[in-house]
Amino acid sequence: MDLRELLDRAELGLSVIVAAPGALSAPVRSGYITDLPDPGRFLSGGDVVLTSGLWLSVPDGAARFVGALASSGASAVVLGTIEIGVVPAEVVELCRQHRVSLLTIAPGVSFRDVASAIADAQPESLAGAASRSAEFRRRLSAVLAHGDGLDALLALGSEALRAACWIADDRGTVVAGRAPSAEVSGKLWNDVVVSGNEQAATHGHNASAGLRIGDDPPVGVLCFVGHPPPGLDGEPALELGALLGAVRVEMELALRWRRARSAQTGELFSQIASHEASPGIISARLRLEGLDPQAETVTIAARTDDRGFPVDTVAALLERSAAAAGLTVLSTDFGGTALLLVNGDGAEEWVPGLTDLRDAEADALLGDRRLFLGVGDAISGVSRLASSLQTASTRLDSAPTGGGEPVVVATAVHVGGFRALLHLLGDGTRRGFADEVLAPILEYDRRNDADLIATLRAFLDGDGAWQETARALHLHPNTLRYRMARIRELTGRDVARLSDRVDLFLALACLDDA
């Protein structure tokens, strides 16, 4: 502290009689109470000497006392008047000549109060540290109460800890402050948020350190330029703990809002995929989210080869790229896969650029992980949204995993069999086809406690061989022929015809996936 701060403490009752220009900014390190005629050998620079003036009774006492203060570099002398009545003009003149600041004190305040206030304000003082910490917490609380945001909290923290800071959220996005590089920020985020460490550090030219914000899972990482982070040892730990707490409050509020919105978006995606809502309702919901149902829309399913990597981060990388192209994005975490609707004129033209998605920021977050994208065909309107989402998911699942490309964009299905082909139709279409072909058989089995479906399945699995199928089912061949005739009557399809046999085979496959 300095003399001005001491004078600002009204409860100490101090007032200035003599002060040289700039003297009030002199540092104050201790308060020394004495009435020795010559205290010089006990004083050092930054001392505030508190005295009753009993040395005035000694011959030449004022000159000797003030001279000792000037020689020692004391910051000021506080002269009490209880014993001497008034401050002598001789003392005032000597202090002016020696450029020693002269203060007086109110009669009701003890020297001990002033000395204690000076001691408490020193950096090594526990009481002073507690006082500063309390003031710092008060300022943080004021920022939270006014809703000034993370930037204001970080500015206070940087000032108190005397270190440049930045914050990355749970997705790896820098939300406050400025990181020295995307590489440094991405490494600290991976080490703390993805790997689950409480703290991490980078070395080299951009040495930095990060601390976890929140419990498990963390809501982000508070990073410092410099290593190790200030405050892990010593007094600043009080301020650091307060800063982490305040930042956590702000970030958890933002995360709760984002999760609530994601839950609503997930419900909308479920309604689209299951055809639970009418096209009119889907269109209205999309408009509320800022999408134009009649504009071009591209569906994307995305994930990395690391199933522990946050899906929200994958979505955020794609959202950033789409936003840069002037497109609107709606995304959700759908069972560990990021599903996105990318909407706006030019959405289809944006897709080829996805192979170059990995810029410096994306590389820092993804590291050695590979990013796989399944992209549906561009559509307009909402009638084909469900099938487009299904197509994107199927293309993602069938994307080639060989090779070393950092980003794999699947815009066509690598069909590995008839089941993969059927998945392109969407759940609703498959269920509808199975019902159209097999409903009469299912109803007959239910009413008559029969087993025509199992008989049909065994016949087709046995490649239509009558004798082998009859033996497998422990039936007489005539019984098998009777059952197959009943199936022909119920469905209008004859297993003797290849096209009808294919219909029945595919209907059973759709029934299995329903």
For residue 119, with 0-12 CB atoms within 10 Å meaning exposed, 13-18 middle and 19 or more buried, which class applies?
A: middle
Q: Does the domain at residues 277-414 carry the CATH identifier 3.30.70.270?
A: yes
Provide CATH 3.30.70.270 ranges for the chain: 277-414
Are the C-beta atoms of 258 and 299 separated by less than 8 Å? no
Q: Above pLDDT 90, what percent of the chain? A: 54
- What band does 177 get if pLDDT is binned at 50, 70 and 90? very high
pLDDT over threshold 70, residue 55? yes
Mean predicted lDDT score pLDDT of the chain: 88
Residue 444: other Cβ atoms inside 10 A: 16
Are the C-beta atoms of 286 and 264 separated by less than 8 Å? no
**227-236, 243-252, 403-412, 491-500: which has the minimum mean pLDDT?**
227-236
Residue 5: other Cβ atoms inside 10 A: 14
Provide CATH 3.40.1390.20 ranges for the chain: 3-120
Tell me the CATH class for 427-513: mainly alpha
Residue 460's nearest CA partner among 507, 416, 504 is: 504
**Would you state the pLDDT for residue 168?**
95
Tokens encoding 49: 């000497």
Tell me the CATH class for 3-120: alpha beta
Mean pLDDT across 443-461: 91
Cα–Cα distance, 448 to 358 (Å, whole number): 61
pLDDT over threshold 50, residue 99? yes
The number of C-alpha atoms within 13 Å of 377 and in the hemisphere containing its C-beta is 8
Q: Does the domain at residues 149-252 carry the CATH identifier 3.30.450.30?
A: yes
Are the C-beta atoms of 87 and 102 separated by less than 8 Å? yes
Give the DSSP per-residue string, 68-102: HHHHHT-SEEEE--TTTSS--HHHHHHHHHHT-EE
Could you tell me which residue, 420 or 433, shows the higher pLDDT?
433
Longest dimension (CA), the chain: 141
Threshold 0.85, pTM exceeds? no
Residue 266: other Cβ atoms inside 10 A: 16
pLDDT over threshold 70, residue 510? yes
Are the C-beta atoms of 322 and 386 separated by less than 8 Å? no
- What band does 235 get if pLDDT is binned at 50, 70 and 90? very low
Q: Above pLDDT 70, what percent of the chain? A: 94
pLDDT over threshold 90, residue 54? yes
Provide CATH 1.10.10.2840 ranges for the chain: 427-513
Mean pLDDT across 196-216: 86
Cα–Cα distance, 75 to 72 (Å, whole number): 9
Residue 11: other Cβ atoms inside 10 A: 9
- The winner for highest mean pLDDT among 139-148, 362-371, 414-423 is 362-371
Cα–Cα distance, 302 to 375 (Å, whole number): 9
Residue 284: other Cβ atoms inside 10 A: 13
Reduce the DSSP state of residue 236 to 3 states and report it.
coil
Q: What is the 3-state secondary structure of 340-396?
A: EEEECCCHHHHHHHHHHCCCHHHHHHHCCCCEEEEECCCECCCCCHHHHHHHHHHHH
pLDDT over threshold 50, residue 234? no
pLDDT tens-place string over residues 351-377: 999 888 888 889 999 999 999 999 998
Provide CATH 3.30.450.30 ranges for the chain: 149-252
